[in-house]
Amino acid sequence: SQPIYSLERGCIVGAEALVRWQHPQRGAIAPDQFITVAEQTGQIDAVGRFVLRTACMDAAAWPTPPSQPPPFISVNVSARQLQHGQLPELVEEQLRHSRLAAQRLHLELTETAMFSNESEAIATSTRLRALGVKIWLDDFGTGFSGLSHLRRVPADGVKIDRSFVSDMLEDPDDLALTTAIIAMAHSLGITVIAEGVETEGQYEALRTRGCDSAQGYWLGRPMPSAALAELLDGGR
Ligand code: C2E
Ligand code: CA
Ligand code: CA
């Protein structure tokens, strides 16, 4: 899991679950190398189920930092899982099993997954939100669907893609886009997370532009759940 920080309060508010495959010979394998294969072979359903169950169980055991709401766990959902239509049942089952409050589970759907079959994606997200789960649009800005879809899609927030954040201090276009996404999201009443924050300069630029939360190597690397629990315990 990788910690996510509130830019207003400067404290940890939740984490994103990032799956790692522990290979006996090759060590930890990054998801980019097996998620696509798992999607093609249909194994993504089993992987997705495992990730969701583990994430809910881990988060249910995390401590709540003093005078703060309990931390959330954000889980990536692949396009295929979204199309199966069984996602709300699976989510409900895992929430019940882990006893995690629904508000503490966030699901990240990519813009492209969302818009490849828009009406079905809208129906599924509506059902998920009715359970109390929050929906994030991941890799926002990279698809060409653009901001107009935001009005139709039931989402609680957007995650600004790493590619914008990494160049925002050098490239005026990326800075303008990032600023525009934040303003547009806020005018629609939804929140914004920036991913891939690697420097203090990027952190400050996002904070002064009113971005709600951020994650990235400068704030904290992906870490095992036990390490995240320790971080939550420490406060910061
Ligand atoms: P993503 O959802 O965009 O996740 C963010 C990726 O950026 C993660 O890579 C994370 O380790 C990396 N990252 C975080 N902070 C920084 C930073 O400051 N700089 C840079 N350069 N990178 C940073 P990771 O863990 O390798 O995951 C890659 C992708 O695999 C994810 O991209 C997501 O699309 C997918 N993925 C990960 N876990 C799951 C999962 O459980 N299910 C599904 N369906 N997809 C997953
Ligand atoms: Ca993500
Ligand atoms: Ca991304």
Residue 146 vs residue 98, higher pLDDT: 98
Task: Establish whether residue 30 lines the binding site of ligand 1, counting it when its CB lies within 6 angstroms of any ligand atom.
Answer: yes
SS (H, E, C) 162-207: HHHHHHCCCCHHHHHHHHHHHHHHHHCCCEEEECCCCCHHHHHHHH
Rounded Cα gap, residues 160 and 182, in angstroms? 9
* 29-44 confidence digits (pLDDT tens): 888 888 888 888 888 8
Query: Could you tell me which residue, 36 or 54, shows the higher pLDDT?
Result: 54
Residue 11: enclosing H or E segment and its boundaries?
none
DSSP at 146: -
Confidence of residue 51 (pLDDT cuts 50, 70, 90): very high
Pairwise CA distance, residues 197 & 168, whole Å: 10
Query: How far is the C-alpha of 194 from the C-alpha of 4, rounded, in Å?
Result: 9
Instruction: Check residue 235 and give left, alpha or beta (phi > 0: left; psi -120 to 50: alpha).
Output: left
Residue 79: CB within 6 Å of ligand 1? no
Q: Which whole number is the average pLDDT over 204-227?
A: 97
| Rg for the chain, CA atoms, rounded | 17
Establish whether residue 94 lines the binding site of ligand 1, counting it when its CB lies within 6 angstroms of any ligand atom. Answer: no
Q: What is the mean pLDDT of residues 18-39?
A: 86
pLDDT for 236: 47
Write out pLDDT tens, residues 113-138: 877 788 888 999 999 999 999 999 99
Mean pLDDT of the residues in the chain: 91
Q: Is the CB of 15 under 6 A from ligand 1?
A: no
Residue whose token pair is 């699901």: 107
26 backbone dihedrals φ, ψ, rounded to 5°: -95, 0
Instruction: Tell me the mean pLDDT in the region 14-28.
Output: 89
| Centroid of ligand 1 to alpha carbon of 21 (angstroms) | 13
> Which of the residue ranges 31-35, 106-110, 128-132, 210-214 would you say has the lowest mean pLDDT?
31-35
**What integer pLDDT is reported at residue 25 of this predicted model?**
87
Question: What is the model's pTM?
Answer: 0.95
Q: Which residues are registered as beta bridge partners of 105? A: 73
Nearest-CA residue for atom 25 of ligand 1: 18
pLDDT digits (tens, 9 = 90+) for 148-196: 777 788 899 999 999 999 999 999 999 999 999 999 999 999 999 999 9
Between the alpha carbon of residue 79 and those of residues 1, 10, 36, 42, 139, the distances in Å are: 21, 33, 11, 12, 13
